[in-house]
Structure 1
Amino acid sequence: MTMASTSEGKSFSKRTGMLCVRALKWIPVIFIVTIVIWSYYAYVIQLCFLTVKNEVERVLYLIGYHLIFAIFAWSYWQTIFTDIGRVPSQFKVSAADMERLENAESEEAQRHVLERLASGLPVTNRTVTGAIRFCDKCWHVKPDRAHHCSVCGECVLKMDHHCPWVNNCVAYTNYKFFVLFLAYALFYCLYIAFTTLSYFIAFWKTQLEGLGRFHILFLFFVAVMFAVSLVSLFCYHCYLVAHNRSTLGELLF
């Protein structure tokens, strides 16, 4: 076997491994989507069409459900597929400056190099020692609130956290969509819980028949369970917005 074929084999294995890792990252999203699809079937088909007898009640339930479902799905889509905010090119450090930084003889000399590189850039946040924030993986001065995401493999503007449930960084470009997603998801769960409550009670009184009653039972439990989780998370991010903070604990005046 030649060196070229060995190198090609390693390259192919690396690409395959990266594709597998990327595919695995979508598992939490697929899990959420699967639950949402099932909840749509359970609510629209099993509850509204097969269980609700009153026509007016059925129409009102369907209209309210689809309105909330539409904005919930839209906000989730935007949170997932909105591109992360990347650091502007003017923060990038050239190869020559990077070499000077690496060859600096002391920490103080490195600080002087970074101060020169950051001069003229809109940077106010510093490290705990007062030095310029710098990413040695991306080779650029970090803008305020920018952080390197190990999952995305690059620095992200105003990074809040990397969320596996959306397979994306929650940051500058999609934080609004993320907060809306939490709010609409909470409304979605509460709407399902309140409109299925009477049928959930009827189930325990053995007044519901057919296999569809189990869908309604689990739909109520799942809606309540997710609502409890979402209300705390939504309130937490409302607190962060109100106090101009992020999950990473920074405050920008």
Structure 2
Amino acid sequence: MAPSGSGSVKRSCQRVLYWIPVLFISIIVCWSYYAYVIQLCIESMGNIGEKVVCLLAYHVFFIMFAWAYWKTIFTKPMNPSKEFHLSYADKELMERVDRGESQQELLRRIAKDLPVYTRTMSGAIRYCDRCQLVKPDRCHHCSVCDKCILKMDHHCPWVNNCVGFSNYKFFLLFLAYSLLYCLFTAATDLQYFIKFWTNGLPDTQAKFHIMFLFFAAAMFSVSLSSLFGYHCWLVSKNRSTLEAFRAPAFRHGADKSGFSLGFSKNLRQVFGDEKKYWFLPVFTSLGDGCSFPTCLVNQDPEQPPTPAGNNSAVKNGDNHPFPAKPLRESQSHLLNSEKSWPEHDVGEDKEKHGMP
């Protein structure tokens, strides 16, 4: 019992330590609120009109930033649904069979009816030993959360949460509004920061708050702008941070642009179809997180060439046809400008109607 008790204490201590970066950010934000509202606007600004405008604009940025940050932290990451978990009988069978081809044969049978199209770099079915499930496309196991996370991007210590399908939009808005918050703070504080160095401010404690506020806002603006720009690029390419470092592997091989549908559709996959909700931290991402439409660039060399714009079918080792653009009904409107793959052979349909 002792090892179990010590392990529980260790995990509790780790959970407390994981909140330290969030606490640090919260303290910085609370201090910046006091420094800007009290020391800069109320104590240092003499023009009433400037004071009112700055306070109103500042609170808009502050509220949106805090809202997005809260949603990023406390939105639980989504895990694979039950259909991807192994049944009790399959788990027992997995324990009995040897690792290697026998296990892969069993996994191919299990994954045959699942919307799974990516593979490991060696071409094997992606399986998680810890969670005992077949990994959905773009799903990865987080060692910190000790769970498989749908469309995992990364585990962010600054929000003490995994950034994935359920909160990736919130994370992007958090970066955007925190950048706007810092830029606005630095821009409106600049003239008073200059007065600090030219001895144009009265000798009060507001001087030091104004100085450090400008340094903090400028420093965070630089780091946030690079991070936000990088994630905007990822959204435009429909990639996660993990996929940017290692391209997802399909049956025909690795393809870094396998999930890219074009800039507009890539953007809508994260932010949704209704533009009025794009800038609000409310969940509007398309799909269910378990399957995603793809646009395969490199077709399977064993398949005959198909005309541009048509969908081809790729077969796995079990001769089970898989469409080149896998998607569920909830995502079908993403590709409404393209033909959907046929559910039955065209020749059979013609014979049914007596056509030559």
TM-score band, normalised by shorter chain: over 0.9
Partner of 1:74: 67
Query: In the TM superposition, what are the counterparts of 1:85-234 in structure 2 within 5 Å?
Result: 85-105=78-98, 107-209=100-202, 210-234=204-228
Partner of 1:4: none
Say whether residues 1:38 and 2:31 are aligned partners. yes
Q: CA deviation at 1:54?
A: 0.7
Q: SS state of the match for residue 248, structure 1? A: helix
Q: CA deviation at 1:11?
A: 4.0
Considering only aligned residues, what root-mean-square deviation do their CA atoms show, in Å?
1.1
Q: CA deviation at 1:52?
A: 0.4
Query: In the TM superposition, what are the counterparts of 1:233-244 in structure 2 within 5 Å?
Result: 233-244=227-238
Q: Name the structure, 1 or 2, with higher relative contact order (CA <8 Å, separation 6+).
A: 1
Q: Using the alignment, how far apart are the partners of 1:103 and 1:80 within structure 2?
A: 41
Letter in 2 for 1:208: L
Q: Using the alignment, how far apart are the partners of 2:125 and 2:51 within structure 1?
A: 61
Q: Using the alignment, how far apart are the partners of 1:107 and 1:16 within structure 2?
A: 37
Q: CA deviation at 1:13?
A: 3.1
Q: Using the alignment, how far apart are the partners of 1:129 and 1:233 within structure 2?
A: 32
Letter in 1 for 2:227: L
CA shift digits 1:63-120 (9 cap, x unpaired): 0000000000000000000010111011001232123223323511111100001011
Q: Using the alignment, how far apart are the partners of 1:105 and 1:226 within structure 2?
A: 52
Is the helix fraction higher in 1 or 2? Answer: 1
Q: Using the alignment, how far apart are the partners of 1:181 and 1:105 within structure 2?
A: 47
Q: Using the alignment, how far apart are the partners of 1:19 and 1:106 within structure 2?
A: 35
TM-score, normalised relative to structure 1: 0.94
Q: CA deviation at 1:10?
A: 4.4
Partner of 1:22: 15
Q: CA deviation at 1:227?
A: 0.3
CA shift digits 1:111-135 (9 cap, x unpaired): 1100001011110111111111000
Q: Using the alignment, how far apart are the partners of 1:22 and 1:50 within structure 2?
A: 40
Q: Using the alignment, how far apart are the partners of 2:37 and 2:98 within structure 1?
A: 69
CA shift digits 1:135-194 (9 cap, x unpaired): 000000000000000000110000000000000000000000000000000000000010
Q: How many residue pairs were aligned?
A: 246
Change (3 A) 1:34 1:127: same
5+ residue gaps, structure 1: 1-6
Q: CA deviation at 1:28?
A: 0.3
CA shift digits 1:209-249 (9 cap, x unpaired): 21111100000010000000000000000000000111002
Letter in 1 for 2:20: I
5+ residue gaps, structure 2: 249-255, 260-293, 295-356
Q: Using the alignment, how far apart are the partners of 1:96 and 1:41 within structure 2?
A: 60
TM-score, normalised relative to structure 2: 0.68
Identity %: 56
Single out whichever of 93-102 and 190-199 deviates more from structure 2: 93-102
- 1:84 aligned to which of 73, 77, 86: 77
Q: Using the alignment, how far apart are the partners of 2:196 and 2:108 within structure 1?
A: 69
Q: Using the alignment, how far apart are the partners of 1:211 and 1:153 within structure 2?
A: 47
